[in-house]
Amino acid sequence: MYDVVIIGSGCAGLTAAIYAARANLKPLVIDGHEPGGQLSLTTMVENFPGFPDGILGPELIENMRKQAKRFGAEFKAGVVNEADLTKRPFKITAGKDVYETKTLIVAAGASARMLGLENERKLLGYGVSTCATCDGFFFRGKPIAVVGGGDSAMEEANFLTRYASKVYLIHRRSEFRASKIMIDRVRANEKVEIVTPAIVEDILGHGTGAVEGVRLRHPETNAIRDIKLDGVFVAIGHTPNTTAFRGKIETDANGYLIASNGSKTTIPGVFVAGDVQDHRYRQAVTAAGSGCMAALDAEKFLEEHSAESASFESARQSSAAVPAPAN
Ligand code: NAP
């Protein structure tokens, strides 16, 4: 039985692992379907404190993993498909493996929705991005596109005009889902050109390892138009990775887990961290901060419930001591 099981190995999960491991809690980290989380899909990270020259996302994640291992964190590959949180110890199932734990930290992240184009995956981190705050700076003086019609797309389009020479806002319908005030701001921004209705058929890169443009199709006429540009920001929403916890841990209307009073959920002993509970900031450093909070909360919980922990141990030992029934 574990003291702490951490679901997710992005910035939040790994920071929780570092803190829990340093507190001698020997946490188990279950990697999830995107080991390393969103940082592992990006290139240069320039806004994580402590790296004046920036650091590659995958390198930052690898460093955190090594740091957690150094203090005794254990890692298992796997995707959690079932969680019994009705009583402690909790039972966590990942494929054929079942783990028992006194506390649980859910740091399963949120996945950016993607258009599903082959070049989008290939060029992610090389001109294709899902985070304007992270990557806008790399497009100073260059034309770029934002894809989407919700509040995120409007916010990113406006924000990116600080850097880009021009921002094409591309949306598949002529009507926007975004709130009126956000649309009005975009319409008033001279550096934004709205391109609707337009479906992104392809992101053009011609094998150069950099974005060179987008190919658009008009949904009614099927007319094709290419626009030359240097970057594409996909802003079509995020999906929190909460399938295994649906109906068990309280969520908001968009499916994000709700944390209150630090990292606590309504289930004592279950804590949440990172993008799975944060649709607002979504930054590596805020995810790391919330991972730290979750580990400290779990540690405190274990201290306060040490008598219960001892009873789990003695129950486990006595069941191990019962001889197997004779056939
Ligand atoms: P969203 O509201 O779900 O909008 C997603 C947009 O992407 C929609 O316009 C949708 O088009 C489009 N889209 C989805 N799948 C697509 C695909 N496969 N190809 C092309 N386009 C696709 O997501 P969001 O903008 O991230 O917002 C999420 C929540 O956060 C919302 O409640 C929003 O209000 C909130 N938010 C608020 C603020 C703020 O107030 N400052 C900022 C950001 C987000 P259709 O419209 O055609 O479906």
Q: Both tokens of residue 112?
A: 């950016």
Instruction: List domains and CATH numbers for the chain.
Output: 2-112+238-315 (3.50.50.60), 118-234 (3.50.50.60)
Q: Which residue has the tokens 């770029």?
A: 144
Q: Give CA–CA dist 92/83, Å, rounded.
A: 5
Distance 96 CA to ligand 1 centre (A): 36
Query: Does ligand 1 lie within 6 Å of residue 115's CB atom?
Result: yes
Tell me: the pLDDT tens digits for 241-292?
999 999 999 999 989 999 999 999 999 999 999 999 999 998 999 999 999 9
Which residue's alpha carbon is nearest to atom 2 within ligand 1? 150
Which residue's alpha carbon is nearest to atom 33 within ligand 1? 151
- Would you say residue 324 has pLDDT above 70? no
Q: Give CA–CA dist 112/131, Å, rounded.
A: 9
Query: Does ligand 1 lie within 6 Å of residue 217's CB atom?
Result: no
Q: Both tokens of residue 169?
A: 């806002």
Query: Does ligand 1 lie within 6 Å of residue 205's CB atom?
Result: no
φ, ψ for residue 22 (rounded to 5)?
-65, -20
> Which ligand 1 atom is nearest residue 175's CA?
46
Write out the H or E segment, with its range, that includes residue 282: none
Tell me: the pLDDT tens digits for 94-121?
999 999 999 999 999 999 999 999 999 9
Q: Give CA–CA dist 324/251, Å, rounded.
A: 44
Pocket test for ligand 1, best of 117, 128, 152 (most atoms within 8 A of CB): 152
Write out the catalytic residue numbers: 131, 134-135
A 10 A CB-CB count for 285 gives 15
Distance 223 CA to ligand 1 centre (A): 25
Which residue's alpha carbon is nearest to atom 39 within ligand 1? 151
Confidence of residue 40 (pLDDT cuts 50, 70, 90): confident
Tell me: the pLDDT tens digits for 161-177?
999 999 999 999 999 99
